[in-house]
Amino acid sequence: MAEGVVSVVLEGLSKLIIQELKSLGGVGGKVQSAQTQLQIMQGYLKDADARQGRNEAIRIWVASVRDAAYDLEDVIEIFVLKVASKRKASVLTRFSGIFIKRVNLHQIGSEIKKITTKISQLSSILPSLNLHQTRESGGDTSFQRQQERRIAYPHIVEPHVVGLVGGTEILATHLIKGKGPRVVSIWGMPGLGKTTLAKQVYNHGEVKRHFDCFAWVCISQQCQAREVLEEILTQLISPTNEQRQEIAKLKIDQIAERLWNTQRERKCLVVLDDIWTSDAWSSLQAGFPMNEETESRILLTTRNKEVASYADKNGFLFEPRSLNDDESWELFEKIAMFGTEDTNHKIYEHKKELGTEMLQHCKGLPLAITVLAGLLARKDTIDEWNTVHKNVYAYIRRGTDFGPDYIGEGYEGVSWLLELSYDNLPYYLKQCFLYLAHFPEDYEIPVSTLTKLWMAEGFISSTSVEIMEDVSYMCLSELVGRCMVQVGKHGSSKKIKTCHLHDLMRDLCMLKAKEGNFLRIINYSTVVEIKQTPTGRVRRLAIYLDETVEAYCQGRDENYGHVRSLLYFVSTYCYWNSKVLRSLLRDFTFLRVLKFEGMGVRKHKLPHEIGNLVHLRFLSVKCSVISAVSSSIANLVCLQTLDLRCRNWTVKIPNGNVFSKMEKLRHIYLPLPTRYHHCAREKRERLLFATEAVNLHTVVNICIQASSDLVDFVKLTNLRKLGVITFDKGTKKEKGTNIIFKHLQSLSVNFTSEAVPWNIVLSCPNIYKLRLDGHITELPEDLLCHTNLTKLTLSGFGNLKDNHIKVLEKLPSLRMLFASVGIFPAALVCSKGGFPFLEFLSLDCLMELKEWKVEKGAMPSLCRLHIEHCSDLEAVPDGLQYITTLKELTIKEMHSEFCSRLGEGGEDFYKIQHVQSVIISNPYHQGGEDKMKS
């Protein structure tokens, strides 16, 4: 890990010396000396990082080098910020500050001299540590490493499943048979594929048709019974927002009773994934009618056979078998040799021989096989495969030395391989991987947030021809391609939307973060603190909270003054005492990342002390309750990401050019338009962005009076996502402009005028995502020029005509369409050949829609259909029976007559009998969730 830290610092120093050498004056020589010393140290750090876990002297030396590099970066950045502020000061201020600058230079020079001396001392210790100097092969430059990250990993789109068919059928049969066991359990060692198998069963066609409603929850090591029971109930009954609020007020015994009754009355399938202990099951048992006649079932996965038996003594227990040799090779080959262009039979056979030998040590564990295959997927030559083959035996021997904290029960077959896969990561990926240790167990990590955090930490570098966000996403893609990170969800553009870690991979991540003092985790939700090895200063903190945060500020460690990253994760809404928050902001002066989401400040103002955090790159108060933002936020000149999307209705942002100094700003999310004062009527936003922030990629919730106000945005050639709110009633009379945003990918327009500001929409020809909120009465033919448009959301009153629907049908790339609040006319026709690539259609709150006709040949690719609260719609269209691709139909908040027609034996059953999953939620005059056999 120290290798990554030093590499990042050296890259920053190189830029600094080029840009600021004159300003550094006499200090410049000391900075160059420190740079040279670190370059010498860098050659030994790869070997040191690999050996520090088994050698205390090396571990201490590595920690010292890491701290020295961080300290040097901190002191240099302080100086640069001071110089930059002096340059922008008035002439009088500059003159009066000359003496102060000399003092600052002297102080910084003294600090740099101390650090340089420390590095020299560390260098003198090298011979006694017997470390080997290594260099990246082939003169591997930063640019070359970034190009390597662009290797495609087609196998990440769909997970590879091998050897589970038999188990899937056995489990499905036990779940759906008349007098089958109440609990069906999948048990076995970690990495055996229990969750993968459970997903196969959960999505099995017969299972989907048999049960009425479904719930899937992950049970962490610290099982929170109330949260689990509430989540299961929510998934089973699909409550309205009002019902959710009612459930949130219930006591745990009341929630358990409602859950118990729901399963008694309906056929429910509940999956409890990864339940660890018998105590965890005991805490949940009150919510399940175990001793009553019911057709509901529980599918449980666990590592412990005793837990499975304890849940139901008469239950069915299933232990997945390990993969045999042929299955192991099939899974391995799909990943490691996918898309190989080797036509040489000898090369293929040689790789197969090496791969087969290495697979013997995977013991048929799917996780071990996929990790090994992911490691080899990037290695093309026989020499590279031979190197891994030789390393396998060394890592197997080392695996027995990790100790019980890492190996644990059942880890022996895979621990060595996880270690090997981690050590084979280049340094820039090691840092990215370790950052995942911040997130709680079973946490679905938003990729958009994760990549921004990596950038803020300085892990991501780019050349002049690269976009940093793209490089950051490629780093994630590579970790997924190496099978070290798992994909959660994909977005409309097929890019990864969320990700997570397998339990064993998270254990490795936590272990390595602890070894390298990368992170400290404080878990106040369970009163457990995960302490890192006390070597070096704490640089990153992750805080897990429940209702209160004041306790966190009691007895803080003196080393926290150098913390760079502070991330909060809350299970329930939390409030800060404003005095405590001000104290915290004064103490953490070196913060680069502050994720302060889902919390409130009791006096509701983000305090003035926020301006002290001049090193901040990432600041998010998303979903927090904050009434005002201090004007001192203008001091945060290093900010790259700023998210002010608070949950309360009034957020006051200071007037004036509060963001004008933020030249490095890349992503800004303002509060919703009705949630902040002095909106576009004063054209405040034009002042906000009269800035040098030419790197802006995202601007969300910006208020304008007319499209001409966007002229200032033309210079933002890197802009990719734009969210606009217009208030001008005369928009429909506005003439077109010559503004073209040719690089924009996502556009959202919320308008109060009587016509869509099409001049804004048509100025963005290459968008793949478009959202329109307002009075939509037309869709011009010019919309067809948006050949990349894959996701379209139309919300608002308008009643489009037939000719406008035909425009929608012709959009060449449209895959997802969301229509809500009176968009469509009373009679809707989807014509033959229309919507050729549409995969998902959502109709929500279309109060005028009465008749819907789907001609044969329309929507030939449709997979999912969602119909909600269309109160006048009489029936589903007859043409649905011809859409053989339709796999999932969801009906929510429709009248009982509409729903009953879809039941088996109903008038409309023939239209949807081929659909694998049909779920009906909250029909009028009925509570809960109905679902019929199909």
Q: Which residue, 317, 80, 72, is CA-closest to 188?
A: 317
3-class SS of residue 455: helix
What one-letter code names the amino acid at 518? F
Q: What is the DSSP letter of 372?
A: H
List the domains of the chain with CATH numbers. Answer: 2-135 (1.20.5), 172-318 (3.40.50.300), 339-424 (no CATH), 436-515 (1.10.10.10), 517-666 (3.80.10.10), 776-934 (3.80.10)
Residue 104: is its pLDDT beyond 80? no
Residue 467: is its pLDDT beyond 60? yes
- Distance separating alpha carbons of residues 370 and 167, to the nearest angstrom: 20
| Residue 636 near residue 619 (C-beta atoms within 8 A) | yes
Q: Scan for tokens 């060595």, then name that residue.
A: 416
Question: What is the bridge-based pairing of β-strands 641-643 and 618-620?
Answer: parallel
> Which tens digit of pLDDT belongs to each residue from 719-753?
899 998 887 654 444 555 567 888 899 999 988 77
| Residue 431 near residue 459 (C-beta atoms within 8 A) | yes
What one-letter code names the amino acid at 44? Y
- Distance separating alpha carbons of residues 235 and 708, to the nearest angstrom: 46
* DSSP string covering 257-269: HHHHHHHHHS-EE
Most confident of 4-8, 871-875, 878-882, 901-905: 878-882
**Mean of the pLDDT values across residues 618-644?**
90
pLDDT band per the 50, 70, 90 thresholds, residue 855: very high
Phi, psi of 254 (to 5 degrees): -70, -40
Between 137 and 450, name the one with better pLDDT: 450
pLDDT band per the 50, 70, 90 thresholds, residue 157: very low
pLDDT band per the 50, 70, 90 thresholds, residue 475: very high
Phi, psi of 601 (to 5 degrees): -110, 130
> Which tens digit of pLDDT belongs to each residue from 365-406?
898 898 899 888 888 889 989 988 888 877 776 654 444 444
The pLDDT value given to residue 16: 66
**Mean of the pLDDT values across residues 602-620?**
86
- Distance separating alpha carbons of residues 826 and 851, to the nearest angstrom: 6
pLDDT band per the 50, 70, 90 thresholds, residue 275: very high
- Average pLDDT value over all residues in the chain: 81
| Residue 801 near residue 774 (C-beta atoms within 8 A) | no
Name every residue whose Cβ is closer than 8 Å to that of residue 392 and which is 6 or more positions away in sequence.
358, 361, 416, 420
pLDDT band per the 50, 70, 90 thresholds, residue 920: confident
The pLDDT value given to residue 220: 76
Chain-centroid distance, C-alpha 516: 24
The pLDDT value given to residue 910: 93
The pLDDT value given to residue 408: 45
Name every residue whose Cβ is closer than 8 Å to that of residue 19 and which is 6 or more positions away in sequence.
none
Residue 81: is its pLDDT beyond 70? yes
- Distance separating alpha carbons of residues 79 and 25, to the nearest angstrom: 12
- Distance separating alpha carbons of residues 146 and 83, to the nearest angstrom: 32
> Which tens digit of pLDDT belongs to each residue from 640-669?
999 998 876 567 887 657 887 888 999 999
What one-letter code names the amino acid at 318? F
The pLDDT value given to residue 346: 84
- Cα angle 406, 149, 429 (rounded to 5 degrees) comes to 30
Most confident of 602-606, 777-781, 821-825: 777-781
> Which tens digit of pLDDT belongs to each residue from 770-802?
999 988 888 888 888 889 999 999 988 777 888
Instruction: State which H helix or E strand residue 232 sits in.
Output: helix 225-237
- Distance separating alpha carbons of residues 934 and 626, to the nearest angstrom: 50
**Structure tokens, 32:** 């160059």
| Residue 238 near residue 261 (C-beta atoms within 8 A) | no
The pLDDT value given to residue 57: 86
The pLDDT value given to residue 549: 57
Residue 160: is its pLDDT beyond 50? yes
Most confident of 2-11, 22-31, 365-374: 365-374
| Residues facing 438 on adjacent strands | none
Q: Which residue, 158, 209, 203, is CA-closest to 299?
A: 203
- Distance separating alpha carbons of residues 205 and 678, to the nearest angstrom: 55
Chain-centroid distance, C-alpha 632: 30
Half-sphere exposure of 931 (CA within 13 A, CB side): 26
- Distance separating alpha carbons of residues 167 and 29, to the nearest angstrom: 68
Residue 533: is its pLDDT beyond 70? no
- Cα angle 71, 76, 78 (rounded to 5 degrees) comes to 100
| Residue 188 near residue 320 (C-beta atoms within 8 A) | yes
The pLDDT value given to residue 419: 84
The pLDDT value given to residue 618: 97
Most confident of 137-146, 257-266, 708-717: 257-266
Give the 3-state secondary structure percentages of the chain, helix then strand then coil, rounded to 5: 45, 15, 40
Between 5 and 698, name the one with better pLDDT: 698
Residue 109: is its pLDDT beyond 80? no
Q: Which residue, 448, 421, 453, 424, is CA-closest to 436?
A: 453
